[in-house]
Amino acid sequence: MIYYLLMRLLQAGFVLIGITAVCFIVLHLTGDPAALLLPENATEEDYDNIRKTMGFDRPLYIQFFDYMKNAFSMDFGHSFQQNQPAFKIVMERLPATIELAIVAFVIALLIAIPVGMISALRRGSKIDIASTFSALLGQSMPNFWLGLILIFFFSLYLDLFPTSGRISFGMSNEAETKFFMLEGIFTFNFSLFSDAFLHALLPSITVGLYSSAKLTRLVRSSMLEVLSEDYVRTARAKGLSNFTVIGYHAFKNASIPLVTLGGIELGLLLGGTVVTETVFAWPGVGLLTVQALQNDDFPVIQASVFLLAFIFVFVNLAVDILYAFLDPRIRYS
Amino acid sequence: MQLFKYSLVLSFTVFLLAAPKYVAALQVTKGALTISLGSEVVTMDPHAASSALTTTIHRYVFDTLTHRPKGATKAIPWAAKKFIQVDPKTIDFYMRKGVQFTNGEDVDAKSVQFSLLRPRIPGYKNVQKKRLRSIDRIEIKSKWVARVILKKPDPGIINRMSDWGNLVPPVYYSKISAADAATKPVGSGPYTMVRWDKGSQIVFRANSKHWNNNIKAIKNARVIPIKESGTKVAALLKGEVQLINQLPSQHLAKVKKSSKAKYKIVQGTRIFHLGFSHQIESPLQNLKVRQAIAHAIDRETIVRSVVDGHGNVANQALHEWTEGHDSNAKWPYSFNISRAKKLLSEAGYSNGLVIDFIAPAGRYTKDKEVTQAIVGMLAKANVKVNFKPLAWKRFVQVFRARKKPGASPFLYYIGYGNGGGDSDGALGSITSCKGSWSGYCNPKIDGMLQKALTNLNMNERQSIFRKVVKEMTRDVSHVIIWQTEFIFGMGKNINWDARNDGRVYLWDISSNK
């Protein structure tokens, strides 16, 4: 197990190095960074000055080695636009993305698991048809449309939730960290938690519904497969309650593919959901990355790509480790 | 199943407990005016950015030497108590005695010298350098009088100083890093920045020491970035936001019915035109071809149907609040498809022609719809276009590549704002041979612009600009199409006289509450 972990960590490291390098190369293929930073009628002297200041006058391979060396210490340079360390800018947005991703993921699971299980247990029934149809609908609805509908109905018409943002003005002065919900829980500041939670609910539902659609179908098909297994029949024959048979014996084994897909979904959610972040003015990493792309802010793009790759790689590693606990048949050597 | 039931009950309980707290929190926002202007500023370093949004927000914290009131063509003294044009190349600025920056440094002649020359610091990334490039040097006549000496006469510089050259305390800005300059602003403006939660809000508080005691109606304010227009409108209707810009016209009926919000429409300064890559060898260099294209565009239909009447047909490139505007200017190329085809035929293109057409998508009001309409109109006149709607950055790249060898000729659609009332800058930018947004080159026009640039006589400048506009019309340098309106949404209790340049200054806003 330890050996496996070490190998996977090493692999993850190589993946990150590769992604970081590719990102650098691709960005520099888009053109002269100095030309992107200066207005058209900049003089040659302006170009020379900016190239010297930013280090663009050095040979590309030297720029590349310096960049990779600095990347090891999470130094991706300063944002062209904001003049702040790029990695710091990205990290400032990470708490918003993490909280949104976690709440959305929980919502997705809260929908997918019960609905998928019921659908499998009542195969062919109206409930099964309805849930399949809902899953299809969930995957077909555009995020931005759903988000706006939720805002207009639940925020505006019913006046139940805020329309946008992460937190109310008054509450933002109370928070000491950027993890508003977590801080609210651990400091027993229920006002802070509830305010942040209510702001997160609509965007999380928007994103979570899409994920839940995929997960529901997976839970359904996995459960159908598992319910026909011999050990489930044996468990019933032993007189165990329905809850124990389905909730423990069947679901535990059916959850292995759910863990795989769930891990991928969580990784995608943590990568930032640009459309939802735009609709709800949610200050996450996805929106920041797109803005950096639009402004050719290379350092921020590189920092974002690195961070997202890092998250994705390690979420998948965590998923692989979780397998071993869920399925004793899986042993890594 | 039981677990599911318990989860449902728990969730409902959490919600019931949480809802009153949310409502209570919302009450707190009522202590601050909340506005949303779409995007967010990227830096609070006043000399490091140039977008209209950033320039507007910076004015909250940083005073400028001059200021253009709504509807005025000329700027008035602002941070400077007065300014005197000593001679064509010399302007003295008399600063207000005793006024200080919020860190205690004086807003004196030294700070004027430092602030105006700061964009020239080698290696300092900024775009303001070119705006103030006519400045040769600045002398300290006395503690409170700064003498600005120009390389040559520059009549437009007083207007430009209402946007650029924001005053900053020299000692503070000499010592801090570029990173701190971007996030820890210190100025002498009507407001101070209290906090900046990136991506969420910037909070401002009125500066009790500001020299202008008349402009502190709003004590606390915050600017939040909401890019999606539907969300912005919802926030306005709910009362979470008290003022928004770029209110889409399809939401006007909803706002009108609302008990919490209202809207205001003003004539804007941005004028949209079709341009030609004159400097690349192509049929577009033929005057008759350009005239044909001009006749093919139904400008009235674009304004009436495509932008739903929220704009006006424009006859020239200069709006009403800038020098050189001629209210009697005519556009002689009426919509006439037969005439367009005839002109094309006379030019030798009786079978029509094919040309590229580039346009920004999603940058301007209804740009996609307007350019689609133009494509259809041109097609009727046998001008087939390879239409390329582009994201703004890509549009800029393609446009800039026009001077590279082997570049293909193209039509382009763009809007020029000229919110600062700088006619030299506007005309130079879109018509001169070296203009940033010019595909055109006419030595006659360049000569006229050079004359205006150094002429301090307002009447003569007016006359020159009008001649430039006439020559542009005669030569069809551009097809001038329409001038936008700005639509703002605001709370019912908000009093604000919307500006034609679209700028939202906090000190212009007051509330009935």
Chain B: give the shortest CA distance to residue A190, in Å.
8
Cβ distance of A163 and B434 shorter than 8 Å:
no
Nearest residue of A to residue B6 by CA position?
Answer: A110
- Are A104 and A211 in contact by the 8 Å Cβ rule? The answer is yes
Specify the pairing of strand B261-276 against strand B410-416.
Answer: antiparallel
Could you say which DSSP state residue B75 is in? -
- Are B485 and B310 in contact by the 8 Å Cβ rule? The answer is yes
Q: Please state, in angstroms and rounded to a whole number, the distance separating the CA atoms of residues B49 and A34.
A: 16
- What pLDDT was estimated at residue B24? 42
Token readout for B232 is: 């912005």
- What pLDDT was estimated at residue B26? 45
Q: Please state, in angstroms and rounded to a whole number, the distance separating the CA atoms of residues B129 and A211.
A: 50
- Are B426 and B325 in contact by the 8 Å Cβ rule? The answer is no
Test the B interface: residue of A82, A115, A291, A293 with most B CBs within 10 Å: A82
- What pLDDT was estimated at residue B456? 84
Cβ distance of A110 and B7 shorter than 8 Å:
yes
Tens of pLDDT, residue by residue over A270-298, are 877 888 999 999 999 988 988 888 778 88
Q: In chain A, which residues have pLDDT < 50?
A: 333
Cβ distance of B28 and A169 shorter than 8 Å:
yes
Q: In chain B, what residues touch A114 (CB-CB under 8 Å)?
A: 1, 4
How far is Cα of residue A56 from the mean position of the Cα atoms in its chain? 33
Cβ distance of B18 and A49 shorter than 8 Å:
no
Chain A: give the shortest CA distance to residue B123, in Å.
6
Cβ distance of A170 and B28 shorter than 8 Å:
yes
Q: Is B393 exposed, middle or buried (0-12, 13-18, 19+ CB in 10 A)?
A: middle
Of A41, A151, A168, the CB nearest to B436: A41
Cβ distance of A163 and B201 shorter than 8 Å:
no
- What pLDDT was estimated at residue B309? 93
Q: Does A151 touch chain B (CB under 8 A)?
A: yes
How many CB atoms are closer than 10 A to CB A273?
29
Q: In chain A, what residues touch B31 (CB-CB under 8 Å)?
A: 169-170
Of A50, A283, A284, the CB nearest to B125: A50
Cβ distance of B125 and A53 shorter than 8 Å:
yes
Read out DSSP for B325-345?
--TT--------HHHHHHHHH
Residues 6+ apart with CB under 8 A from A64: A21, A24, A25
Q: Please state, in angstroms and rounded to a whole number, the distance separating the CA atoms of residues B165 and B178.
A: 17
How many CB atoms are closer than 10 A to CB B17?
11
Specify the pairing of strand B33-36 against strand B410-416.
Answer: unpaired
- Are B70 and B497 in contact by the 8 Å Cβ rule? The answer is yes
Cβ distance of A39 and B227 shorter than 8 Å:
no
Of A83, A89, A163, the CB nearest to B240: A163
Q: In chain B, what residues touch A163 (CB-CB under 8 Å)?
A: 231, 234-235, 238, 240
Sheet with B90-95, side-by-side order of all strands? B80-87, B90-95, B145-150, B135-142
Query: Which 24-43 residues of chain A touch chain B by CB within 8 A?
Result: 31, 35, 37, 39-42
Query: Which 170-189 residues of chain A touch chain B by CB within 8 A?
Result: 170-172
* Token pair 């790759």: residue: A309
Give the closest residue to A271 by CA, choosing from A284, A258, A262, A283: A284
ipTM: 0.85
Cβ distance of B397 and A31 shorter than 8 Å:
yes
Of B179, B181, B226, the CB nearest to A164: B226
Q: In chain A, what residues touch B37 (CB-CB under 8 Å)?
A: none
Query: Which 91-120 residues of chain A touch chain B by CB within 8 A?
Result: 92-93, 96, 110, 114
Residues 6+ apart with CB under 8 A from A320: A8
**Dihedrals φ, ψ of B456, to 5°?**
-85, -5
Q: Please state, in angstroms and rounded to a whole number, the distance separating the CA atoms of residues A79 and A298.
A: 7
- What pLDDT was estimated at residue B27? 42
Whole-model pTM over 0.80: yes
Q: Please state, in angstroms and rounded to a whole number, the distance separating the CA atoms of residues B376 and A195.
A: 50
- Are B274 and B411 in contact by the 8 Å Cβ rule? The answer is yes
What stretches of chain A show up as alpha helix (H) in DSSP? 2-29, 33-37, 44-54, 60-72, 86-121, 126-140, 143-150, 169-172, 180-186, 190-227, 230-237, 242-243, 251-270, 274-279, 285-294, 298-326
Residues 6+ apart with CB under 8 A from A292: A79, A81, A300, A301, A304
- Domain layout of chain A by residue ranges: 86-332
Q: Please state, in angstroms and rounded to a whole number, the distance separating the CA atoms of residues B479 and B499.
A: 27
What are the angstrom distances between the C-alpha of B367 and each of B273, B332, B348, B374? 11, 24, 32, 10
Q: What torsion, rounded to 10 degrees, do the Cα atoms B80, B81, B85, B89 define?
A: -20
What are the angstrom distances between the C-alpha of B108 and each of B100, B139, B140, B161, B246? 8, 12, 9, 16, 38
Nearest residue of B to residue A178 by CA position?
Answer: B197
Strands (E), B45-123: 66-67, 76-77, 80-87, 90-95
Cβ distance of B125 and A40 shorter than 8 Å:
no
Chain B: give the shortest CA distance to residue A201, in Å.
11
Task: Give the number of C-alpha atoms closer than 13 A to the C-alpha of residue B332, restricted to the C-beta side.
Answer: 10
- β-bridge mates for residue B480, sequence order: B273
- Are B359 and B390 in contact by the 8 Å Cβ rule? The answer is yes
Cβ distance of B228 and A281 shorter than 8 Å:
yes
Query: Which 200-239 residues of chain A touch chain B by CB within 8 A?
Result: none
Chain B: give the shortest CA distance to residue A62, in Å.
21
Token readout for A185 is: 């829980």
How many CB atoms are closer than 10 A to CB B72?
13
Token readout for A105 is: 């993921």
Q: Does A314 touch chain B (CB under 8 A)?
A: no
* Token pair 């728990």: residue: B10
Per-residue burial over B79-89, b if 16 or more Cβ lie within 10 Å, else e, is: bbeebeeeeeb
Fold designation for A86-332:
MetI-like fold (1.10.3720)
Q: Does A53 touch chain B (CB under 8 A)?
A: yes
At B295 the three-state DSSP class reads: helix
- Are B489 and B226 in contact by the 8 Å Cβ rule? The answer is no
- Are B440 and B275 in contact by the 8 Å Cβ rule? The answer is yes
* Average pLDDT per 10 consecutive residues for chain B, totaling 513 residues: 64 58 45 89 87 91 95 92 95 97 97 94 72 92 97 91 94 93 95 93 93 82 93 95 92 94 94 93 94 97 94 94 90 96 95 94 90 97 96 87 88 88 88 90 93 88 94 96 96 93 92 78
Nearest residue of B to residue A111 by CA position?
Answer: B4
Chain B: give the shortest CA distance to residue A321, in Å.
27
Q: In chain A, what residues touch B181 (CB-CB under 8 Å)?
A: 83
Q: In chain B, what residues touch A193 (CB-CB under 8 Å)?
A: 18
Q: Please state, in angstroms and rounded to a whole number, the distance separating the CA atoms of residues A153 and A164.
A: 13
